[in-house]
Amino acid sequence: MREVILVGLNHRTAPLEIREKVSFHEGDLDRYLKALQDLPSVVEGLILSTCNRVEVYAATRDSERGVDEIKSFLAHQHHLPLSEFEDTLYIFQGEEVVRHIFRVASSLDSMVVGEPQILGQLKSAYRVAHATRATGTLLNRLLHRTFSVAKRVRTETRIGNRAVSVSFVAVELAKKIFGHLEGRDVLIIGAGEMCELAAQHLRRGGTNRVLVTNRTWERAMELAERFHGEAIPFTEFTNSLLRVDIVISSTGSPDYILRKEDISKIIKERRNRPLFFIDIAVPRDIDPQVNSIDNVYLYDIDDLQEVAEANIKDRQQEAQRAEEIVATEVTKFCRWYQSLDVVPTIVSLREKLEEIRKKELERTLSSLPRLSEKERKALDALTAAIVKKILHGPVTLLKETSQDSEGDLYVDVVKKLFRLDEE
Amino acid sequence: MNVFFFKITLAFYLGGTVAYLIYILFSYKRAAWVGKFLLGFGFISHCLVLTFRYIEAGHPPVVNLHESLSFFAWAIVGAFLLLHHRYRVDVVGTFASSLATLLVIWAAALPKDVIPLPPSLQSYWLPIHATFAFAGNAIFALAFCAGVVYLIQERLVKSKRVGNLSQRLPSLGILDEINYRSLTIGFPLLTVGIVTGAVWAQYAWGSYWSWDPKETWSLITWLLYAALLHQRLAVGWRGKKAAIMSIVGFGAVLFTFLGVNLLLKGLHSYAEWFR
C-alpha cells in the first residue's frame, strides 16, 4: 500500500538564503514535477514552493527510499550539496503529512497565523500538479480534503477575520463606519510611511479620490502624483474637509492642527455626513475631544495599535479552535485511508457473498424438502462455484492494481458497489 | 387546522430566535443561516394560519387582540425577510425575530375565539386600513431594531472596543441607510393607514375624526415620524439622533397599538383583552 510522505523546509527551519536556493521557479514547475515522478519510488507528486516554504509531497511505494530519493532530488535540481540544507529539512510520513498539509492550508503554520495567501498558493500548486498528471487518487483525495478542511476552518473560526496590522485596522474601521469604501474620498495631511501604507490599503479597499496636503508644496505634489490624487495648499486644507470622508493625519506639528470647534462647524456644514479621522502623528495632530462629536470618529496611533493587538490575541485563540478541527479531520481522513487496504476488502467481499449464498441456499432447500442428500450437495456445490467465478475477476484485479496509482480507486469502487461498509 | 399551524408557526419562530441568539452570542455563522430558514418556514406557516382564520371568520383576522398581535408579528417577519433580501444584516434578525416571537407568544396566551364583527364595522375598509397600518408599523419595527443595533455599534466604535461583538454587527453606514429607507417607506404607509382609517370612520361612525385615544395617538406617532423625516431631509440628521428618534417613534407605535387599548378606553378597543 502506498504511503504519503513529505520532505520540506519553511521559514522556521531554514533561513532566507537557503529558502531562496531551494525554491522552485513557478514557470518550470511542470518540468520539476516530471523529474519528481521519474524517481523510482515515487508514484504521485506535488511541489509547493512559496517564499516561506518549499515542500515536496509524494505518494511512494516505499517511504524510506522515497525520502532519500526526494532529498537527492532537491539537491540535484538546485545544484546544491545535500549537506548544505539537510539539517533544515523536516520529514513527515502518513498521518503526520495529513496533519501538516491541513495545518498549512488552514494557515496555522504560517508566519502570520491566519493570513489567507497560502491557501491560494497551495491551490495553484495543486492545479499545476493535476494538469501535469503528477497527482493520482491518493494525493487528489488528500488535496480535496485539505481544501475543504481549510474552508471549514475559515467559516467556523475567526482565524482570518481580523486585521492585525495598524494600517489594515484603519481600513477595517473605515468599513465599519461607512459600510463600503466605494466613492469615499481620502485626505492625507503630512506624510510618512504609515500614512502611505494606510492610504494604499484604503485605495485597494475601493476609495475614490485622494487629496494630499503638506507644509512643503513639492512634497504634496510628489505624493499626489504617486496616488493619482490632487495636491492642496496646506493653508486651505480645512475647506477640503467638506469634500472628503476619511482623513489620515501625520504632521510634525507640536500642536493640534484640528480642534473640536473647527470640526463641529465642519460637521454641521457637511449635514452630519460621517468623518473618520486617523491620527498617526506623535505628538497628536487632532484634538482627542473631536471623538465626542456625533458622526465623527477619531482613532489615534495607540488606539489602532490596541485594536491590532487585541485582534492578534483573538487570532491565537481562534487558532486553538482551528487545531481542534484539524485534529478531527485528520482522524477522519486516516480512517478512510486505512479502509483502502486491499486484503481486508477482499476478505469482507468474500464474506458478504458467502453470506448471501448461504441465506439463499437455505431458503431454496427449505422449500424443496424432498431433495435427496446428493441433490442437496450438488446445489451447494453449484452455488459455491458461481460465487467463486463471480469473485475471480474483481479479486484478481484488486490484487494486481494494489501497487498502482489507481489501486485505491478500485478498492473504493468495490466497497461502494458491494456496499461493504454498510453493516 | 388553524390552531395546529399556529403552534407550528410559534415553534419555527422560537427556533429561529434561538438560532439568531446563538449566532450573536457565540458568533456561530451557520446559526444565522439556520435562523433565516426557520423564520422563512415560520412565515409560510403563518400565512396559512391567517388564511384559515380569514376563511373561518369571514373577515380579515385583525379584529381582536389575539389576531392583531399575530398579524403584527407576521408583518414584522415578512418585512425582515424582505430587508434581509436587500441587506445582509443578520443581527437585525436577532431583534426582529425576538420581537415577533414575543408577540406570537402573547397572542398564544389570549383567547382565540372568533368574534363576530358588528355590522357597522363590516366593510372592505377594514382590510385596507389594517394592512397599511400594520405594514407601516412593521417597517418601523425594523427601523427600531436597526436603531438599537446602531446605538450599540456606535458606542463600540466610539469607545474603541471594536472586538468580536462589533465585528458581528453591521456597519454604521448600512444601519443608518436602513433607518432612512424604513422611514421613507414606513411613513407613507402609516399616512395611508391613518387616512383610510378616517375614511372608514366616516362610513362607520359618521365622522372622519373624533379624537378617540387611538386616533390621537396615531396622530402623535405620525407627527414624531414626520419630524424625524423632516429633520433628516432638511437638517441632515442621521446616525445617533435618527436612531434614537426611530426608537422613540416605535415606542409611540407600540403605545398606539397596545397601550391605548390596555390603558385607555375608546372606539378601537377590540372587545375583551386578557381573559
d(CA A58, CA A3): 8
pLDDT score recorded for residue A329: 94
Q: All 3 cell numbers of residue A177?
A: 463606519
Cβ–Cβ below 8 Å for B167 and A158: yes
Closest-CA residue of B relative to A289 is: B158
Active site (annotated) includes residue A51: yes
d(CA B2, CA B61): 12
Closest-CA residue of B relative to A298 is: B158
Distances, alpha carbon A283 to alpha carbons A196, A197, A303, B207, in Å? 19, 20, 14, 70
Provide the 10 A C-beta neighbour count for residue A343: 11
pLDDT score recorded for residue B208: 86
Considering only the C-alpha atoms of chain A, give the largest distance between any 2 of them, rounded to a whole number of Å. Answer: 117
What's the DSSP call for residue B121?
G
With an 8 Å Cβ cutoff, is B146 touching chain A?
A: no
pLDDT score recorded for residue B271: 41
First to last CA, chain A: 25
Place of cell 443595533: B149
**CA nearest to B223, candidates B262, B265, B194:** B194
pLDDT score recorded for residue B113: 76
Q: Collect all residues from A whose CB is shorter than 8 A from any CB in B.
A: 155-156, 158, 161-162, 172-173, 175-180, 270-274, 291, 294-295, 297, 299, 303, 306-307, 310, 314
Cβ–Cβ below 8 Å for A158 and B157: no
pLDDT score recorded for residue A403: 63
> Among partner residues B157, B163, B236, which is closest to A310 by beta-carbon distance?
B163
The rounded mean pLDDT for chain B is 86
pLDDT band at B267 (very low <50, low <70, confident <90, very high): low
Return the number of CB contacts < 8 Å for A and B: 65
Mutate to test the interface with B, among A169, A207, A294, A309 (most CBs of B within 10 A): A294
CATH topology of domain A3-156: Beta Polymerase; domain 2 (3.30.460)
Specify the 3-state DSSP secondary structure of A138: helix
Q: Where in the sequence of chain A do the CATH 3.30.460.30 domains occur?
A: 3-156
The arithmetic mean of pLDDT across residues B116-130, rounded, is 80
Q: Are strands A186-190 and A42-49 parallel, antiparallel or unpaired?
A: unpaired
The arithmetic mean of pLDDT across residues B194-219, rounded, is 86
In chain B, what residues touch A175 (CB-CB under 8 Å)?
A: 171
Contact of A70 with A36, CB cutoff 8 Å: yes
Which listed residue (A12, A28, A38, A51) is catalytic?
Answer: A51
pLDDT band at B44 (very low <50, low <70, confident <90, very high): very high
**CA nearest to B150, candidates B177, B182, B115:** B177
How close does chain B come to A402, measured CA to CA in Å? Answer: 41
pLDDT band at B226 (very low <50, low <70, confident <90, very high): very high
Cβ–Cβ below 8 Å for B29 and A162: no
The arithmetic mean of pLDDT across residues B41-55, rounded, is 91
Cβ–Cβ below 8 Å for B167 and A180: no
Provide the 10 A C-beta neighbour count for residue A399: 13
In chain A, what residues touch B167 (CB-CB under 8 Å)?
A: 158, 161-162
Closest-CA residue of A relative to B232 is: A271
Considering only the C-alpha atoms of chain B, give the largest distance between any 2 of them, rounded to a whole number of Å. Answer: 61
> Among partner residues B163, B171, B177, which is closest to A175 by beta-carbon distance?
B171
Q: Considering only CA atoms, give the Rg of chain A.
A: 33
pLDDT score recorded for residue B265: 61
pLDDT score recorded for residue B273: 37
Q: Given a cut of 90, is residue B266 above it in pLDDT?
A: no
Q: Given a cut of 50, is residue B275 above it in pLDDT?
A: no
Cβ–Cβ below 8 Å for A314 and B240: no
Cβ–Cβ below 8 Å for A306 and B160: yes
Q: What is chain A's length? A: 423
pLDDT band at B272 (very low <50, low <70, confident <90, very high): very low
How close does chain B come to A271, measured CA to CA in Å? Answer: 5
pLDDT score recorded for residue A5: 94
Provide the 10 A C-beta neighbour count for residue B58: 10
How close does chain A come to B252, measured CA to CA in Å? Answer: 25
Q: All 3 cell numbers of residue A42?
A: 515515487
Provide the 10 A C-beta neighbour count for residue A330: 21
With an 8 Å Cβ cutoff, is B29 touching chain A?
A: yes
Q: Given a cut of 90, is residue B157 above it in pLDDT?
A: yes
pLDDT score recorded for residue B4: 84
Contact of A181 with A206, CB cutoff 8 Å: yes
Q: Given a cut of 60, is residue B270 above it in pLDDT?
A: no
Contact of B212 with B268, CB cutoff 8 Å: yes
How close does chain A come to B6, measured CA to CA in Å? Answer: 34
Contact of A5 with A66, CB cutoff 8 Å: yes
How close does chain B come to A306, measured CA to CA in Å? Answer: 9
Cβ–Cβ below 8 Å for A297 and B162: no
pLDDT score recorded for residue B264: 66
pLDDT score recorded for residue B145: 92
Q: Given a cut of 50, is residue B110 above it in pLDDT?
A: yes
In chain B, what residues touch A309 (CB-CB under 8 Å)?
A: none
Provide the 10 A C-beta neighbour count for residue A311: 24
d(CA A50, CA A116): 13
With an 8 Å Cβ cutoff, is B112 touching chain A?
A: no
Is domain A166-308 annotated with CATH 3.40.50.720? yes
pLDDT in tens, A86-119: 999 999 998 999 999 999 999 999 887 888 889 9
With an 8 Å Cβ cutoff, is B158 touching chain A?
A: yes
How close does chain B come to A338, measured CA to CA in Å? Answer: 32
> Among partner residues B166, B171, B241, which is closest to A178 by beta-carbon distance?
B171
Q: Where in the sequence of chain A do the CATH 3.40.50.720 domains occur?
A: 166-308
The arithmetic mean of pLDDT across residues B179-192, rounded, is 94
Cβ–Cβ below 8 Å for A176 and B30: no
Cβ–Cβ below 8 Å for A176 and B177: no
Residue segments in chain A with a per-residue pLDDT below the cut of 70: 1, 403-406, 422-423
